[in-house]
Chains A and B, each alone.
Chain A
C-alpha cells in the first residue's frame, strides 16, 4: 500500500451538472484571467471544458497513467509534452486591428515557431461520438479534483504537494517545488501544468484566497449555466451532500483511477436511440450505457433513473427536492457558504 496523504478535517467538494453545461468556457476564462496570466503560465488552463466522447486536454487525457491499482499500488504515468496540450498561440492582432490594410487579415493562430497549430485545448469541440442519427456528445469540465487519495501528494519526494487540513484542498508549495514533475506523472486526470520559466509545477488552487474571504471560486461564481455547486461534503443540508450522498445522482469521474476525487458529476441524460428502421429503441438511450459506466462507474444507471423519475414527478405537477437543487432558482444557493460578493470586498494589493 502506498503512502497516502493524511485525511483532512473537512472536505470541500464540487458538483458539476453535465445536463446544464453550455460549453461556453466562461469558467475557463474566469480562471485564466484570475490566475494564469503570468510568465510561464500562458499555456495553462487549470479549468478547461472538453467535448466528450473526445480526446480531452491533454490529448487522450485518460490514457497517460497515474492513480492507483485496486490494491493501492501507484500506477506509473507520463507527463505529456507540450504538443499534446497545445501552446498559447500567437495571433496577429496588429494585422487584424490595423487600419492601414486594404484586406483584413483573418486571425490565424500560430505556434511560437510560426507553424499552424496541430492541437490545443478542446481541439475536437462538438465532434462527439456515435453515428447519425445516434450521434451524441456532452461537455466535461476538467479541473483538479482535490482527491482524498491524491496521487500527486504521494509522488512528490519533497512534500511540496499537500492537502490542506481545514478543507482538503490540494496545493503545491512553489517555494519547495524543484520542478521534478513526479506529481504530474502521477495525477490520473492530468491536471498539473509545468511552468518552464520558473521550473515549478502549477495547478488549480480552488481559488483559496477567495474561499478564505467567503467568495466562491471564479469558475463557479461566473458560470452562466448554473452548472457548478460547491460546499463541504459533510454539510447534510448542503447541495453537495444531498446530490452525492442522499440522492446519489452526482458521481466521481473515472472512479477506477483510485484517487477518490472530490469533484462529482451529474451524468448526462439523453433521448432514446433510434433503431435501424427509424423507430425509437425503448431499451437504449443515445449515449451508450457502457460508455457512461466507464466514465462515471456502475452507479450511473441508477443515477440516471433517479433523475428521470424526478423529472417526471415535476412534469406531473409534483414537487421534487432533487429538481429544485439541480435547477437552483436562487443562484446563491449553488455557492454553499461562499456567497460573499467579491465586488464588496476591500481588495488586497497583488503581492
Chain B
C-alpha cells in the first residue's frame, strides 16, 4: 500500500497555504485510488433506495502531497472536478468537499464505515464555500460530530478542472484515508468516494 510521506520543511504553514506555493513543487506526489462507499452501509433505507440507480463515487483518485512544519502536517489534495460546485446556493445544490481521516486511537478502525463505537476515527473536513474546515470524530456512518474548536487551516482553489485543497493541522505519524464528495453528483453524507484502505502516514 502506497505510503504518504510528509518531509520536514522550513518556513511556516502560511507559506504553504496556497496550493501553488513553490514548496509544493518539490513535495513527492502519491496517487491514491478511490472507490464508492458501499450503498448497503448507508444508515437510511431512503438513501439506499434513492441512490440504487444513481451514479456516485465516481472520482477515481486523489493526488496527495504532504509536508510537515513544526508539529503541523500540511496536506495538498488534488482531484478532478470538471463541473465544480463551489457553493450551496439552491435547495438541490451540493458543494464539492473532501476529508482526510485518521484512526483516533492511532492504530486501527474501519475506514469505509467511518469507524465504530469501539474504534472511532478523526477527520479534517473541508467543503467548498463553507466557513473554514471542521475537525470531527465519528463512530460510524451518520455519527460525525464536529468539534467547536479545531486548530485547522484550509484553502481550496479550483482551476482548469481540478480542485486543490491545502489542509493543515497537528498530526504525528499514523495511518490516513481520504474521502471526496462530488457536488454535481449530489454527493453528501455517506455518499462519497474514499480510499478503500488505510495508507501509512509518515510525518518527518
A residues in contact (CB < 8 Å) with B: 2-3, 73-82, 85, 151, 154-159, 178-182, 184-186, 194, 196, 199
Does chain A have a CB within 8 A of B80? no
In contact, B91 and A194 (Cβ under 8 angstroms):
yes
Residues of B with C-beta under 8 A to A85: 91
In contact, A2 and B45 (Cβ under 8 angstroms):
yes
Tell me what chain A mostly uses at the interface: helix, strand, loop, or mixed.
loop
Q: Mark B178-200, 1 if CB is under 8 A from A, else 0.
A: 00000000001110000000000
Which one, B46-54, B64-72, B155-163, is touching chain A? B46-54
Given the known inter-chain contacts A159-B142, A178-B189, please indicate yes or no for A79 contacting B44, CB distance below 8 A.
no
Given the known inter-chain contacts A157-B43, A157-B141, A178-B144, please indicate yes or no for A82 contacting B91, CB distance below 8 A.
yes
Residues of A with C-beta under 8 A to B63: none
Residues of A with C-beta under 8 A to B93: 81
Given the known inter-chain contacts A157-B190, A180-B188, A182-B46, please indicate yes or no for A196 contacting B92, CB distance below 8 A.
no
In the assembly, what is the distance between CA of A178 and CA of B42, in Å?
Answer: 16
Does chain A have a CB within 8 A of B90? yes
In contact, A82 and B90 (Cβ under 8 angstroms):
yes
In contact, A154 and B91 (Cβ under 8 angstroms):
no
Among A78, A154, A194, the residue within 8 A (CB) of B46 is A154
In contact, B46 and A151 (Cβ under 8 angstroms):
yes
Residues of A with C-beta under 8 A to B189: 157-158, 178, 180, 182
Q: How far is the CB of B102 from chain A (nearest CB, A)?
A: 20
Residues of B with C-beta under 8 A to A194: 91
How many A-B residue pairs lie within 8 Å, measured between CB atoms?
74
Q: How far is the CB of B91 from chain A (nearest CB, A)?
A: 5
Q: How far is the CB of B59 from chain A (nearest CB, A)?
A: 19
Give 6 pairs: A residue, B residue, CB < 8 Å, sorted on A: A74-B46, A74-B50, A79-B91, A158-B143, A180-B189, A181-B188
Q: How far is the CB of B182 from chain A (nearest CB, A)?
A: 15
Q: How far is the CB of A76 from chain B (nearest CB, A)?
A: 4
In contact, B50 and A77 (Cβ under 8 angstroms):
yes
Residues of A with C-beta under 8 A to B49: 2, 73-76
Identity of the chain B residue whose Cβ is nearest the Cβ of A72 in the assembled complex: B45
Q: Mark B27-47, 1 if CB is under 8 A from A, else 0.
A: 000000000000000111111
In contact, A158 and B142 (Cβ under 8 angstroms):
yes
Question: Can you list the 5 inter-chain pairs with the closest CB atoms, starting with the nearest?
Answer: A155-B46, A2-B45, A76-B50, A157-B142, A74-B46
Does chain A have a CB within 8 A of B89? yes
Query: What 11 additional pairs, Cβ within 8 angstroms, besides A180-B188, A182-B44?
Result: A79-B92, A81-B91, A82-B90, A154-B44, A154-B45, A155-B46, A180-B189, A181-B188, A185-B50, A186-B46, A194-B91
In the assembly, what is the distance between CA of A181 and CA of B49, in Å?
Answer: 15
Q: How far is the CB of A161 from chain B (nearest CB, A)?
A: 11
In contact, B46 and A179 (Cβ under 8 angstroms):
no
Tell me the chain B residues, 90-136 only, with Cβ under 8 Å from chain A: 90-93, 130
Residues of B with C-beta under 8 A to A76: 46, 49-50
In the assembly, what is the distance between CA of A229 and CA of B142, in Å?
Answer: 38
Residues of A with C-beta under 8 A to B89: 196
Residues of B with C-beta under 8 A to A181: 91-92, 188
Does chain A have a CB within 8 A of B152? no
In contact, B144 and A182 (Cβ under 8 angstroms):
no
In the assembly, what is the distance between CA of A76 and CA of B44, in Å?
Answer: 12
In the assembly, what is the distance between CA of A297 and CA of B97, in Å?
Answer: 44
Among A157, A178, A179, the residue within 8 A (CB) of B47 is A157
In the assembly, what is the distance between CA of A179 and CA of B190, in Å?
Answer: 13
Q: How far is the CB of A172 from chain B (nearest CB, A)?
A: 15
In the assembly, what is the distance between CA of A151 and CA of B130, in Å?
Answer: 28
Does chain A have a CB within 8 A of B81? no
In contact, B92 and A157 (Cβ under 8 angstroms):
no
In the assembly, what is the distance between CA of A2 and CA of B142, in Å?
Answer: 17
Scoring B91, B144, B188 by chain A CB atoms within 10 A of each residue's CB, the highest score goes to B91
In contact, B88 and A182 (Cβ under 8 angstroms):
no
In the assembly, what is the distance between CA of A179 and CA of B95, in Å?
Answer: 11
Given the known inter-chain contacts A157-B142, A157-B189, A178-B189, please indicate yes or no for A184 contacting B44, CB distance below 8 A.
no
In the assembly, what is the distance between CA of A85 and CA of B45, in Å?
Answer: 27
In contact, A157 and B42 (Cβ under 8 angstroms):
yes
Q: How far is the CB of A113 from chain B (nearest CB, A)?
A: 12
In the assembly, what is the distance between CA of A78 and CA of B94, in Å?
Answer: 13
Among B42, B88, B190, the residue within 8 A (CB) of A199 is B88
